[in-house]
Structure 1
Amino acid sequence: MLKKIALFTALSLSTNWGIAIAQVHTREHAEQHAVSDTVQIRSAKDLFTKGEIEGHVRNYFMATFNHGSLSDNYANAIGAEIGYKTASLHGFRFGFAGLFTYNLFSSNLGERDFISEKHPKLEMELFDIEDPHNKADLDRLDELYLEYNSARLRAKIGRFSFTSPLMNPQDTRMKPYSFQGIKVQLPFQEKGLLTMAWFDHFSPRSTVEWYRAGETIGIFSPGVDEWGKPSGYPHHTHTKGVAVTGLQLKPNKRLQAEAWNYWIENVSNNSYGRAVVEVVPQVKAGIEGLYQFQVGNGGNPESTLVYFPDQQQWLAGGMLAYEPNNLHLSLNYLHIDGGGRFLFPREWGREQFFATISRGRLEGVGKSDLLVAKGRKKWSDNFSSELSVAKSWLPAPNDYRYNKHGAISHWGWVADLNYSPSKPVLDGLSFRLLYIGRTSPEMDIPLKDMYYNTNFHNINFVTQLTF
């Protein structure tokens, strides 16, 4: 095993360093750019020549080592995203962005594991989960929008990125989650922001197409229903879209709070809130909670085809953190209870709770607990690290009422290193080394059920540049 890990890591390092070029700006940073001075725009030509080009080039190597005779897999994806924004004219701007990905080399992602009879899950997510054999036709129009920005109003319509606790871009693979609709934000002074949005089309991460809201639900693994049969809701969920309302507050330096509501037409209503307070200098405490219930018929009047059954579900979490200069140490807890499973479309983003860690979704389970210790250190302006250790207590894989995806109780850990060279000639270049491990030593688990579920090691090395 150690020889295999060393071999794949060495291959990753040599490949990524050879391909890397320079300059990184994240999607979130681009959202914060100041609006250009409209006084300088004297013609239609100026509107475009004084606009902004932005984008990134990314090379992503991933390798997973599964337990025993289960197959190991690897993949190297390379791609780029290029976007353009016009200059601002009376607060209005037009923008678009497109991206493409290529499978530079990989194991056979179209071949199912002989024992589990499943495809390589994590490596496939670098490309197109709907077509494991697709290696080159992986382009997508990611953004196409018109926006307006002023001191009192921000609005955007079209296709664009959106960030919230349950719906977000999660731009850490080759393609983010993208959304089509309209968003309106009302800032008030420097103490808060009100967000209202409606989305009716989505392009999930690891896909290349755009889909209507109901079509997206079930593209990712749908799991099983309450009786252990394959879920019937894919291609049978009827909804026009989701309305999102969010209120983010920072009334003073010690307190931050936010509340969000996601109303999925004919499916469910989901309310989430959190608050973080500085108890004493360098010590913070936080609480969070979510409550969800069925709306309409849950997506379909037929019980065998329904996505969100007639249930009332809730979860609660907490966080205690110590944050001296450039250091974060925290203990995070999440409890999921209620009458069934915590359900929210995986195709629309990834839940961001206090206890969330990489590769650690809890969507699809109920009657569960998760305890996570996190440590983050910013060693310099160029280097930071994070280490997380997690323990989950989940229902048995065959307790279908509370376990949709056959998740297994486990110990998990994440090591995340990020480095940006300080030399001016390499300004903007960044590297990320991410290692995820998981084990379930106290459980007797059939080998086929371990595949990408537990007892595995996942290594990721990412070289990114953005301009």
Structure 2
Amino acid sequence: MYTIKISLTLILSVALWGNTIAQTHHTHEEQTEESDTVKVRSIRELFTKGEVEGHIRNYFIATINHKELTDNYANAIGAKIGFRTAPYHGVRLGFAGLFTYNAFSSDLSEADPIARRLPGTELELFDIEDPTNGADLDRLDELYLEYKSEGLFAQAGRISFTSPLINPQDTRMKPYAAQGIQVQVPIKENNRLTLAWLDHFSPRSTVEWFTAGESIGIYGSGVDPQGEPSEYEHHTKTAGVAIAGLQAKPHPRVQTEIWNYFIENISNNLYGKALVEVAPQVSVGVEGLYQNQLGNGGNKEEGKRYFPDQKQWLIGGRLAYEPKDWSFSLNYLHTGNEGRFLFPREWGREQFFATLPRGRMEGTGNADLLALRVVKRWSDQLSVEGAVAKAWMPSVDDHRFNKYGQPSYVGLITDIHYTPQKPVLDGLSFRLLYVGRFSDTSGLALEDMYYKTNFHQINLVTQITF
């Protein structure tokens, strides 16, 4: 709460500063008309003229694992309801809460007898910290003060923050959520500067809020470079992460962005991306990330350290052809051999060119991922994506470069989005996602395949958005 109080003070200061700047270009009356979308004459009208938004979601998952490994299924139903007051001189208050129920499922609290691990994806619909929790799954997702004008956008409190490495990724029942302050400033046309400080997180598939250090390791900590179980969970020390991002379009055919994530006492992470249209409907892209240790990497004791003394990097590329209603792209990612690409999984999901559903490269080094994606937009109501990926991973026993023991694999994706056209069904949408992953089983232990490879998975999401 102390952090929230500081953040609210900062955003009020920012709002006053923004108004001062705006008034150098507009009269008071003009600024009021731009900031206030509705006329508010009392505190009561702040709420009676506010906005309600949210969704109701039903999510079914079923996974067929290899041979004797346990198959699982789960169906979650829940809703998110948010409210924003009407703006007053650009300032408004917002909050949102969500809840989830386990309608039915296999026993998610029972570990597979061979792999000795709990069901992966199905449990992520609910509470990964308490596999038996099927009903007490509510969370205050957002509580923020916001200021918006022509030249400034700022939020403070519990917010939704979007960037390549820290993002909501609202593809389960709960998104990743963060607490802190963010400021976005447009710079000329099509350029935007983002600054943020985040110090608390509520990871997807959890119901609690944690300090930045406490959140790291909730998703599982894998093994250290020597192959011993990592012990940094509950032992990582950091005040939070400072973020700076610049998204720019220096030329009509060029899009760029650069982000820096300064995780106090852990690591600094510099990411950049550029997309260039080289011919009509043809574009190429390149991206890269470089990271190095800060302070003691999270703990002065080596066995409890999250980020070792390393300088790691990755590089990716994209070649795309996008005629009308189609998109064909070949995407590539390589993680360097200086260590392992490490970034807290609890804060979001990496968004690289080659990123596909249910696939991460975090925790790997000296690895390659190649993905071919095809998207067909049949209409405003229907789009279909198909993808095939090949991942060349280090051996599951090469702990220096393979933190989570992920085998090399071939992955298949089919992703169908459908929105009914009839006005009476406005707000209703469906998503059908198939994920398949396959590996050579020779020399691969059965327990090393559980939710990592040689499985088929069906996801069916029905949602009403309002």
- SS of residue in 2 equivalent to 1:293: strand
Which structure would you say has the larger RCO, counting Cα contacts within 8 Å and 6 or more residues apart? 1
Name the counterpart of 1:393: 392
Other-structure match for 2:140: 141
Aligned to 2:235: 236
Residue in 2 that maps onto 1:4 = none
1:199 is matched with which residue? Answer: 198
1:67 equivalent to 2:59? Answer no
Give the match for residue 225 of structure 1.
224
1:455 is aligned to 454
Distance apart, 1:250 and its partner CA: 1.3
Shift of 1:36: 6.7
* 1:35 CA drift (Å): 7.6
Could you say what secondary structure the match of 1:320 adopts?
strand
Q: How does 1:81-230 map to 2 (within 5 A)?
A: 81-230=80-229
Cα offset, 1:428, TM superposition: 1.3
Q: Secondary structure at the match of 2:424?
A: helix
- Measure how far apart 1:190 and its partner are: 2.4
Alpha-carbon displacement from aligned partner over 1:425-454 (angstroms, at most 9, x marks no partner): 001100000000000136421111110010
Show the counterpart of 1:37. Answer: 36
State percent identity of aligned pairs. 65
Per-residue CA deviation, residues 54-112 of structure 1 (Å, 9 max, x unaligned), is 00000000000000010000000000000000000000010000000000000000000
Do 1:276 and 1:287's aligned partners in 2 also have CA atoms closer than 8 Å? yes
Alignment of 1:341-352 (within 5 A): 341-352=340-351
Write the letter of the residue equivalent to 1:340: G
For each residue in 1:150-205, what CA deviation from the matched residue of structure 2 results, as whole angstroms up to 9, or x when unmatched?
A: 11111100001000000000001000000000001111232200000000000000
Task: Give the distance between the partners of 1:62 and 1:176, measured in 2 at CA.
Answer: 17
In the TM superposition, what is the alpha-carbon distance from 1:347 to its structure 2 partner?
0.2
Name the TM-score, length of structure 1 as normaliser: 0.92
Equivalences, count = 434
Aligned to 2:79: 80
**Who is 1:411 aligned against?**
410
Q: Deviations over 1:13-52 (max 9, x none)?
A: xxxxxxxxxxxxxxxxxxxxx9873561111111110000
How far off is 1:252 after superposition?
A: 2.9
Equivalent-residue separation in structure 2 for 1:261 and 1:36 (angstroms): 31
Task: Provide the secondary structure at the position in 1 that maps to 2:122.
Answer: helix
Q: Check the 8 A contact 2:184/2:194 in 1, yes or no.
A: yes
**8 Å Cα contact 2:35/2:148 also seen in 1:** no
2:146 and 2:156 in contact (8 A); partners too? yes
Change in 2 beyond 3 A, CA 1:407/1:92: same
C-alpha distance in structure 2 between counterparts of 1:271 and 1:372, whole Å? 24
Question: Secondary structure of the equivalent of 2:121?
Answer: helix
Output the TM-score relative to the length of structure 2.
0.92
The residue identity in structure 1 corresponding to 2:351 is Q
Question: Which blocks of at least 5 consecutive residues in structure 2 are unaligned?
Answer: 1-32
Show CA shifts across 1:98-157 (max 9, x none). Answer: 000000000000000011111001100000000000000000000000000011111100
Return 405-414 or 440-449, whichever deviates more.
440-449
Write the distance in 1 (CA, Å) between the matches of 2:114 and 2:282.
49
Write the letter of the residue equivalent to 2:181: I
Q: What is the rounded CA distance, in whole Å, between the counterparts of 2:190 and 2:76 in structure 1?
A: 42
Distance 1:92 1:269 in 2: 33
TM-aligned CA deviation for residue 251 of structure 1: 2.4
Cα deviation 1:389-430 (Å, max 9, x = unaligned): 000101000100101000100000110000000001001100
Q: 1:97 to 1:36 in 2, by over 3 A?
A: farther
Secondary structure at the counterpart of residue 121 of structure 1: coil
Structure 1, unaligned stretches of length 5 or more?
1-33
Q: Distance in 1 between matches of 2:322 and 2:277?
A: 10
- Superposition RMSD in Å: 1.1
What CA deviation, in whole Å up to 9, does each residue of 1:336-372 have, x standing for no partner?
0141100000000000000000001010000000000
Q: Which residue of 2 aligns with 1:274?
A: 273
